[in-house]
Copies of this chain bind each other. A is one copy, B any other.
Amino acid sequence: MQQKTLLIECPDSKGLIAQITNICYKHQLNITRNTEYVDPLTGRFYMRTQLEGIFNDETLLFDLDRALPIGSERSLVGNDRKKVVILVTKEAHCLGDILIKVFDGSLPLDILAVIGNHANLQQLTEKFDIPFHFISHEQLSREAHEAQLMAKIAEYKPDYLVLAKFMRVLSPAFVKQYPNRIINIHHSFLPAFIGANPYRQAFERGVKIIGATAHFVTDDLDEGPIIKQMVTNVDHNYSAQDMAKAGRDVEKNVLSKALQQVVEDRVFVHGNKTVIL
């Protein structure tokens, strides 16, 4: 008995669920979990179906393709662990949390490599027997630096890039290489405090709650589809540094929760939004 997940995204039409589940039934596949969503504004249909049985991928997909409307996207994914490359700068908390969770088995993914534009996290990474590549941006143009990053990443062929407090803005040319496959943690409750030094901004504004946002990276800085947000309370006792410190716990938690949803193939992207099934 194998387990696979069927992911479908297409224009909505009457009878879609019946047609899709019929095909699964005909292939003698048992549905262990099924979730759908129709966006009432766009008329877009999303479905995630966990299946169990003996799979003939080719004929199953062939039958689906005949049934699904034009403009459909579908995929049948096995439960192989997703492969990621992590980009970091200096802060250890997000990387550390992912390392521990992968180490203890609670986050089922493979970290192929960690790349830093500073060398600070080399020691931590190598404790877990994961290759660390130090690719400094100093003395380099953005293009030259990103070319080095892309060359190194290409060696690993990751499913996803994770920006675990990577403090550099990526160019559209870079982002285009990995559409909806770069996950960033932004250290604010977006869209509040876009841009640099959000904890300083939050402090200046005197907010009573701070947060963090995990999102896919698009060309528009801090404007990509949001996967997960979490917050924590602060008060007048918090300096900007205290807010940053309290925020670090939120950041690591929200990033690893977002990664969990991504590696479980729960996250659909449409426009600048996510549908999480």
> Chain A: residues with CB nearer than 8 A to chain B?
14-15, 17-18, 21-22, 24-25, 28, 30-41, 91-93, 96-97, 99-101, 103-104, 106, 124, 127-128, 189-193, 205-209, 211, 225-231, 235-237, 239, 245, 248-249, 253, 256-257, 272-276
CB-CB nearest 10 A-B residue pairs: A206-B273, A96-B100, A92-B104, A18-B21, A192-B192, A127-B127, A15-B25, A208-B229, A236-B275, A17-B21
**Chain B minimum-CB-distance residue to A13:** B30
CA distance A104 to B14 in the complex (A): 36
Minimum CB–CB distance for A211 against chain B, Å: 7
Minimum CB–CB distance for A240 against chain B, Å: 9
Contact, CB under 8 Å: B229 / A37: no
Contact, CB under 8 Å: B206 / A191: no
Contact, CB under 8 Å: A229 / B207: yes
Query: Which residues of B lie under 8 Å from residue A28 when comparing CB positions?
Result: 14
Contact, CB under 8 Å: B14 / A17: no
Query: Which residues of B lie under 8 Å from residue A245 when comparing CB positions?
Result: 106
Query: What copy number does this chain have within its complex?
Result: 4
By secondary structure, the A interface counts as: mixed
Minimum CB–CB distance for A215 against chain B, Å: 9
16 interchain pairs (CB within 8 A)? A17-B31, A18-B21, A18-B22, A35-B35, A37-B236, A39-B236, A92-B104, A93-B106, A103-B124, A127-B127, A191-B193, A206-B226, A208-B227, A236-B273, A236-B274, A253-B253
**Chain B minimum-CB-distance residue to A40:** B239
Query: Which residues of B lie under 8 Å from residue A25 when comparing CB positions?
Result: 14-15, 18
Q: Which of A33, A101, A208: most chain B CB closer than 10 A? A: A208
Query: Which residues of B lie under 8 Å from residue A229 when comparing CB positions?
Result: 207-209
Cross-interface CB contact of A93 among B35, B100, B193, B207, cutoff 8 Å: B100
Minimum CB–CB distance for A7 against chain B, Å: 15
Minimum CB–CB distance for A106 against chain B, Å: 6
Minimum CB–CB distance for A246 against chain B, Å: 10
Q: Which of A17, A38, A226, A229: most chain B CB closer than 10 A? A: A17
**Chain B minimum-CB-distance residue to A225:** B206
Contact, CB under 8 Å: A209 / B189: yes
CA distance A211 to B229 in the complex (A): 12
Given A93-B106, A106-B245, 8 other A-B residues pairs in contact with their CB atoms under 8 A: A15-B21, A17-B34, A37-B237, A93-B101, A97-B97, A191-B205, A208-B226, A236-B274
